[in-house]
Chain A
Amino acid sequence: MANEKFLKVKSEGLNRRRKILLIIFSGVIILAGVCLWGIALDPSRYAPNYEARRLAPSLLHLFGTDNLGRDMFYRTVCGLSTSIQIGLLSALISSFIALALGSMSAVFGGKVDQMVSFMVDLCMGVPHLILLILISIAVGGGAAGVITGVAVTHWPNLTRVIRAEVMQVRSAQYVQIARKLGKSNWHIAAKHIVPHVFPQYLVGLILLFPHAILHEAAITFLGYGLPLDTPAVGVILAESMKHLATGMWWLAFFPGIALLLMTQLFDVVGDYLKILIDPHSARQ
């Protein structure tokens, strides 16, 4: 009976869980699509074309063209793709740092915990942009500077989350029982702790992307990030500043909107993944 009922609900199509899966799936597809499109894009699509300078947006040039006649739409796509790649790399590194520090501080406690806590405070104590500028200078600028900078400044929040999760599962009764039954630390880590922490880690990682991408754009905008000849959103917006007074509004408007939409998409994927993973919020 119960099985039949379940099958019936399923055959009706989209239940809540499936709807959420569909949203996550399409979000990921769009983001991956933009990323791949940017990589595969022929650079001649946004090469300077002096016959098509300063054109307002039209069907031929969706986002208009700039002072050198470069098509802003393709430049933006390429810039978004660069942003996603850099965001991906730096968020991954950052999340590894968080994973290591968070679990270390939960497992060892005491002095280690205090050290990690101090590092978290240190990292949160200096405004991120100042820290990013300093790191970018220390590394020598360019993409390496951005990736290092974003990677070593974005771990504190996730570290806290992971620490709390590990602490919680460590004191859970089923883990205590497993320990009393003589299971090895490795067994407990692999069978109990990792499966519990991994989903939270994944959500944290995805919710890191928007921050990473926005900070990448910000630091590039200030002139410390990606070199001026790369089609990055930060570079595009910094250039657009010079042409604002002449009324070329499309130079700043569309790339900014595109960046905003993309970060929103990451947020949506992360939030829905959280609902999917957290049974408490799923029941609501």
Chain B
Amino acid sequence: MSKGLLQYLTATVLRMMALLIAVTMLSFFLVHNAPMDPVDAFLGEVTVSEEQRAQIAEHWGLNRSPVEQYLIWVNNTLHGDMGESLTFHEPVTKVLGERFRASLLLMGTAWILSGVLGMILGIIAGVYKDRWPDRIIKTFSLLLASTPVFWIGLLVLMVFAVELQWFPLGLAVPIGKVESDVTWLERLHHLVLPALTLSITGIANIVLHTRQKLIDVMESEYVLFARARGESLKELVLRHGLRNIALPAVTLQFASISELFGGSVLAERVFSYPGLGSTAVVAGMHADAPLLIGIALFSALFVFAGNLTANILYGVIDPQIREGGGIDG
């Protein structure tokens, strides 16, 4: 690894650390500003005396200043304690861990699916530029780019779960089955529709990108020369096209993790899939401050990990970027 790249990496990591701290401050500020009382949220239907309320508030440190509360939270978080979720009555770290595993399966499948499918469609469109396969694929992608995820989810549900009944209506496992009894096949059966929905929305980006890159490659002089040497279309695409397209496409996929996460919130909601996204929705409804902040931090971490990978890959692809790295990167 060159010295330049190392420097670039250190700078990027430092910047991301600063951003993470800013994210926790921002989410803490937002949740703190909310017009709901955490004591009420905790108690729910239970009624208690004023004295007991005051005790709970003091136990949680609610009577201290927001800055003090934030510092306590930071201190505890650094020690691995992110507080207890008010909705699930479990430690936030445990809830995050469990839910994230389900989400990771969903997002990972969708991520790979959209990447592979997008590449294939993009290559087809690029090879048949301005002919009917290209027109269909391009129109389709442009349309998909502005279609709401949850609406696609609803359509998919109507067709495959209600009409054809090929797949279950929702959830990650069959209803009323103990976690340990669930087979992998059943999990997969429940995963298909949400993963499909989520992948459809991410596909447009990668298709259009791959298409454009392949067109650029195919119009280049080295491809013209390769054609003159008598290489077939298949050889051209595999040897010259794919090599030039693959890495930028993977980078693009890493950079789009934020959108994937946002989409998973909606997809999980439609399919009642118990992942991190639907947990965020529930946490918000129940004014579950510790869990909300935890999810915000976690999602930011996840997005930063994706962006960091993308940045490193950019550096690998194009040495020029290591030098600059400004706002319009």
Contacts and interface: CB of A to CB of B under 8 A. Distances in A.
Interface in B145-199: 146-151, 154-155, 157-158, 162-163, 169
Contacts of B280: 129-130, 133
Contact of A130 (B151, B262, B328): B262
Nearest to B301: A125
A138 B284 CA distance: 10
A243 to B, nearest CB: 10
Contacts of A259: 148, 151
Interface in A122-178: 122, 124-131, 133-138, 140, 160, 163-164
A140 B299 contact: no
Interface in A83-139: 105, 113, 116-118, 120-122, 124-131, 133-138
Interface stretch (A9-17, A38-46, A245-253): A245-253
Contact of A221 (B143, B150, B285, B287): B150
A257 B33 CA distance: 37
A126 B158 contact: no
A253 B155 contact: yes
A4 to B, nearest CB: 36
B269 A221 contact: yes
A263 interface: yes
B22 A118 contact: yes
B160 to A, nearest CB: 12
Contacts of B19: 118, 121-122, 125
Contacts of A164: 328
Contacts of A264: 143, 146
Contacts of B262: 127-130
Most chain A beta-carbon contacts within 10 A, residue among B33, B281, B284: B284
B18 to A, nearest CB: 7
Interface string B272-300: 00000100110011010000100110011
Contact of A126 (B33, B35, B303): B303
B27 interface: yes
B266 interface: yes
B296 A126 contact: yes
Interface string B286-329: 01000010011001100110010000000000000000001110
B3 interface: no
Given A125-B23, A137-B292, A222-B281, A160 B154 contact: no
B21 to A, nearest CB: 10
Nearest to A262: B146
B23 A134 contact: no
Interface stretch (A66-74, A193-201, A210-218): A210-218
Max chain A CB contacts within 10 Å: which of B31, B158, B261?
A: B158
A129 B26 CA distance: 15
Nearest to B263: A129
Given A127-B303, A129-B265, A122 B26 contact: yes
A49 interface: no
B95 interface: no
A48 interface: no
B261 A130 contact: yes
B22 A113 contact: no
A135 B30 CA distance: 6
B304 A237 contact: no
19 contacts: A118-B18, A122-B26, A125-B19, A130-B295, A131-B296, A136-B284, A137-B30, A140-B35, A160-B327, A160-B328, A163-B327, A214-B148, A218-B266, A224-B284, A237-B148, A237-B151, A244-B154, A252-B155, A256-B151
Interface of A: 105, 113, 116-118, 120-122, 124-131, 133-138, 140, 160, 163-164, 210, 214, 217-218, 221-224, 237, 240-241, 244-245, 247, 249, 252-253, 256, 259-260, 263-264, 267
